[in-house]
Amino acid sequence: MLIDDLSAALPADRLVRDPDVLRGFAHDEAEWAPHALPAVVVRPHTAEEVQTVVRSCLRHGTPLVTRGAGTGLSGGANAVEDCVVLVTDRLRAIKEINEQERLAVVEPGVVNDDLRAACAERGLWYPPDPASSPWSTIGGNVATNAGGVCCVKYGVTRDYVLGMQVVTGTGELVRLGRRTAKGVAGYDLAGLMVGSEGTLGVITEVTLRLRPARAAERTVAGYFDTTVAAGEAAAAVAACGILPSALELVDRHCLAAVDAWKNMGLSTDANVVLLGRTDAPGAQGEHEASVLLECFEKAGATWAAQSSDQAEADALFAARRLAYPALERLGPVLTEDVCVPTQAVPEMLARIDRAALRHDVVIANIAHIGDGNLHPLLVTPPGDETARKNAQAAFEDIISGALDLGGTVTGEHGVGLLKQPGLTRELGPAVLELHRAVKRALDPQQIFNPGKVFHEGTPA
Amino acid sequence: MLIDDLSAALPADRLVRDPDVLRGFAHDEAEWAPHALPAVVVRPHTAEEVQTVVRSCLRHGTPLVTRGAGTGLSGGANAVEDCVVLVTDRLRAIKEINEQERLAVVEPGVVNDDLRAACAERGLWYPPDPASSPWSTIGGNVATNAGGVCCVKYGVTRDYVLGMQVVTGTGELVRLGRRTAKGVAGYDLAGLMVGSEGTLGVITEVTLRLRPARAAERTVAGYFDTTVAAGEAAAAVAACGILPSALELVDRHCLAAVDAWKNMGLSTDANVVLLGRTDAPGAQGEHEASVLLECFEKAGATWAAQSSDQAEADALFAARRLAYPALERLGPVLTEDVCVPTQAVPEMLARIDRAALRHDVVIANIAHIGDGNLHPLLVTPPGDETARKNAQAAFEDIISGALDLGGTVTGEHGVGLLKQPGLTRELGPAVLELHRAVKRALDPQQIFNPGKVFHEGTPA
């Protein structure tokens, strides 16, 4: 029995078998994604213990689902029948922050914000900042190639992963990638692991590139009557020749929900708020702020200004970050994550509006709009079956719209379970077959997170 | 016969069989790397013609070596016995430069500098700038994940590849990656192709991320008595909290060789020149230039100043770019490409000096020193067998030194043939086996550039 194996090989406190506790590890935050109860939850303390777990799973042919904080929004960490769920929450050491090489070496369970704080103490900056950063872990961020507010100027998690330690599909503990600034020795297998959602191995350590701390940001806020008008402002910014350090959209649904929860005094007459930031220092920062302002005004902002009140600007960004949990208080929320070319953003936002009307669904909008990465949030009343079906139909409409406009079904949340039909349409059969070939090559016994991202199918 | 197949399927001018011409396509610029005469050279004009070639090779089990401009320095494009060499020089369309989305779509045979010029006309910038940029192609740059002077601030080719069209190991013509700013739909197979040196498929089109044009650069030059002192200045820059837009080392061997060739008036009393640049605008640029100057002076520069003469600064950068061809005029040059942690640069430069003494080899040095990416150039007199053996022994010493210091055997040139022993040491058997598994998965008939990067070996 697998359990006997694990019990014999690991200290007793590594294993969780209490069904009530297991239930807490059965799924992530994706709404209405299928999940099962795991046979056991394992909380290893070292890479070698992870290797022990993988080898046990290989011996017994048991599926292994790796899980960070469980903040995923696509079902990628959902347990499958009789699987082992490996939780990384005890692998939480920041092993090294190296000012000279500007890199950090961390275990996968380190929380994003904790790493960012530790870097900041040393005058360094780890840019990737998903909205889940107070809770989500670096391992999960790497597994989904997480994005965030910074991406419009500073890129995604992938751009900061130099190397990693991984337990492979044959149970080996290996190092991929490097510690140097550059390197082309062999295939970019570390890069391949990023965004593979736990289907190719278990990450036990990550080496991350850091940047020097940056200048304070200036914030420009604009109010718009419609998401489409705000989208036109964002398209103008994308074409204006500057790189803002943030360009975010928040609509009144989100602001009202956050305000109802946190009483931040956010209520405003605006239907849609656009938040631009620049971190260019000095006169260049002034210039960039004025360009953002001009883009907002030309696109029809009803009000726009460079914020002179840092607390007010921070509150608006905090509201953007809290939008998802605030809306979840009201009922189940289905979260979209399409990403379209920036010039297609106004049309995509119009299609989202039409999907809301067509299917009679309340759709709140937040967006990393500077990247064309939209997060329509489909809000439903608790326990309302019709509303659920309507939301799911609107979800499919939005995916179709994004693909029609040359976009992708997932900008930063990952495929997990919810985006599998969309992925099949986006990639097509030949590219899916390449995925299957890679999966078979690196996970020959198909134990890692089976059924996620794509169906393995049978060998061609 | 393969030739009959190709002759029947392609217009006659696509095929080259004249042995004198074939010889010109038998190898790249790697010194003393083994190569053979190809059976035929094919110059397809379209992606579909590339697919025809791949399918013919699959039918006949014929090895296929893809080649751009042949400026590689590791033997990655060297022909193997009876292979087809597919040259991308007729696939040279810039299909799209999109100011709004800041991206370009190009065929693989487009020359790097031609793309950069076309982007500049539209206020855009394609950063990757290998020294070969006047000749090397985007396809070759992608296949080797080429670097250049810009990398210290702006990263490598990988950081600019959004997507591509590829003919696969089963002869399918597919699209990988995307056109959007972000995207995590499936495995990062486009990223996996970058740096795979033609061993996983044939790239027929690349979608590249662009940046807005940047501010004019300021140059700070410093003279040093030894490479080690210059290395200490570079280590200080890496730890100083600013990101220079360039940090290059050129020694007197290179300056003298370029001057003897181009008569640029470069002769100087310095043994080693360090060239720093900043492209930060305005007061920030002034500040960064002064920080560079301070780092140079504290490390013992015999002279250092911010250049007030743009022509002079450009001449020094041109000399750095011309160093390799200038030295090659003097005799065979074995080019190293190790990359070490920035704090290990002074020690690595000392080891290079010791290798030169120990093996009685003239070693000229250029380096992307801000990245720790060193290019010791081992210069030998033409036809001197003893000098060749000494150079090859020094080459191995340098590789060992880099691995000892936590570095990699190749920062940007690729593994090809010359770095295979080093790669084996760097990766170890378990990671090499992962490479073989990926290779078998994506090139099941093992037709793509066989014997390059690593030996396929037999299935485990």
- Please give the average pLDDT of every successive group of 10 residues along chain B, which has 460 residues: 96 96 96 96 98 98 98 97 97 97 98 98 97 97 97 97 98 98 97 98 98 93 94 94 95 90 78 95 94 97 88 85 90 96 96 97 97 97 96 97 98 97 97 98 98 76
Strand partners for A98? A103
Interface of A with B in 271-300 (CB under 8 A): 280-284
What percent of chain A has a predicted confidence (pLDDT) above 70? 99
Cβ neighbour number for residue A264 with a 10 Å cutoff: 16
Residues of A in contact with B181 (CB under 8 A): 151-152, 339, 342, 370-373
Q: A123-127, A319-323, A430-434: lowest mean pLDDT where?
A: A319-323
Cβ contact, residue pair B184, A415, below 8 Å = yes
Cβ contact, residue pair A184, B438, below 8 Å = no
In chain A, the residue whose alpha carbon lies closest to the alpha carbon of B337 is: A183
Does residue A409 register a pLDDT over 80? yes
Buried b (16+ CB within 10 A) or exposed e, A211-246: beeeeebbbbbbbbebbbbbbbbbbbbbbeebbbbb
In chain B, the residue whose alpha carbon lies closest to the alpha carbon of A368 is: B182
Residues of A in contact with B411 (CB under 8 A): 180, 182-184
Cβ contact, residue pair B187, A195, below 8 Å = yes
Does residue A196 register a pLDDT over 50? yes
Domain ranges, ordered by start, for chain B: 2-87, 94-212, 218-404
Buried b (16+ CB within 10 A) or exposed e, B65-93: bbbbbbbbbbbbbbbbeebbbbbbbbbbe
Q: To the nearest 10°, the Cα dihedral for B178, B180, B181, B186?
A: -40
Per-residue confidence (pLDDT) for residue B459, from 0 to 100: 46
Of B183, B282, B406, the CB nearest to A284: B282
Cβ contact, residue pair B437, A437, below 8 Å = no
B176 and chain A in contact, CB less than 8 A: yes
Cβ contact, residue pair A179, B341, below 8 Å = yes
A175 and chain B in contact, CB less than 8 A: yes
Cβ contact, residue pair A427, B151, below 8 Å = no
**What percentage of chain B's residues is helix, strand, coil (to nearest 5)?**
40, 20, 40
Residues of B in contact with A427 (CB under 8 A): 185-186
Cβ neighbour number for residue B135 with a 10 Å cutoff: 17
Q: How confident is the model at residue A267 (pLDDT cuts 50, 70, 90)?
A: low
- How far apart are alpha carbons B29 and B289 in whole angstroms? 36
Helices (H), A145-263: 151-154, 189-193, 227-238, 252-262
- How far apart are alpha carbons A207 and B258 in whole angstroms? 40
CB A254 within 8 A of CB A376: no
Give B107-130 pLDDT, tens digit per residue.
999 999 999 999 999 999 999 999
Does residue A57 register a pLDDT over 90? yes
Does residue A315 register a pLDDT over 90? no
CATH code that applies to domain B94-212: 3.30.465.10
Helix (H) or strand (E) holding B305: strand B303-306
In chain A, the residue whose alpha carbon lies closest to the alpha carbon of B241 is: A212
The predicted complex's ipTM stands at: 0.97
Cβ contact, residue pair B181, A428, below 8 Å = no
Q: To the nearest 10°, the Cα dihedral for B11, B12, B15, B21?
A: -150
- How far apart are alpha carbons A359 and A352 in whole angstroms? 11
Say if strands A246-251 and A84-87 run parallel, antiparallel, or are unpaired: unpaired
Substitution target in B101, B149, B182 with the highest count of A β-carbons within 10 Å is B182
Substitution target in A51, A160, A187, A200 with the highest count of B β-carbons within 10 Å is A187
Q: Could you identify the residue written with the tokens 């995509």?
A: A348
Interface of A with B in 81-110 (CB under 8 A): 99-102
Which two structure tokens, joined as six digits, stand for B194?
């970058």
Does residue A116 register a pLDDT over 70? yes
Name every residue whose Cβ is closer than 8 Å to that of residue A389 and which is 6 or more positions away in sequence. none
- How far apart are alpha carbons B340 and B322 in whole angstroms? 24
Residues of A in contact with B371 (CB under 8 A): 180-182
Substitution target in B100, B124, B129, B184 with the highest count of A β-carbons within 10 Å is B184
Helices (H), B299-342: 310-328
Q: Per CATH, which fold does A2-87 belong to?
A: 3.30.43
Of B194, B242, B283, the CB nearest to A282: B283
Note whether A2-87 and A218-404 share their fold.
no
Per-residue confidence (pLDDT) for residue B263, from 0 to 100: 83
Of B101, B187, B437, the CB nearest to A196: B187
CB A120 within 8 A of CB A127: no
Does residue A348 register a pLDDT over 60? yes
A361 and chain B in contact, CB less than 8 A: no
Cβ contact, residue pair A339, B123, below 8 Å = no
Residues of A in contact with B239 (CB under 8 A): 99-100
Per-residue confidence (pLDDT) for residue A459, from 0 to 100: 46
CB A107 within 8 A of CB A45: no
Q: How confident is the model at residue A268 (pLDDT cuts 50, 70, 90)?
A: low
Size of interface A-B (CB pairs under 8 A): 261
Report the gap between the CA of A237 and the closest CA in chain B (Å). 9
Give B5-41 pLDDT, tens digit per residue.
999 999 999 999 999 999 999 999 999 999 999 999 9
Of A192, A282, A341, the CB nearest to B179: A341
A55 and chain B in contact, CB less than 8 A: no
A188 and chain B in contact, CB less than 8 A: yes
Per-residue confidence (pLDDT) for residue A460, from 0 to 100: 40
Interface of A with B in 364-423 (CB under 8 A): 368, 370-373, 406-415, 419, 422-423
CATH class of B218-404: alpha beta
Cβ contact, residue pair B192, A195, below 8 Å = no
Substitution target in A180, A279, A368, A415 with the highest count of B β-carbons within 10 Å is A180
Radius of gyration of chain A (CA): 22
Residues of A in contact with B195 (CB under 8 A): 184, 187-188
In chain B, the residue whose alpha carbon lies closest to the alpha carbon of A240 is: B100
Q: Could you identify the residue written with the tokens 């840092």?
A: A310
Cβ contact, residue pair B152, A181, below 8 Å = yes
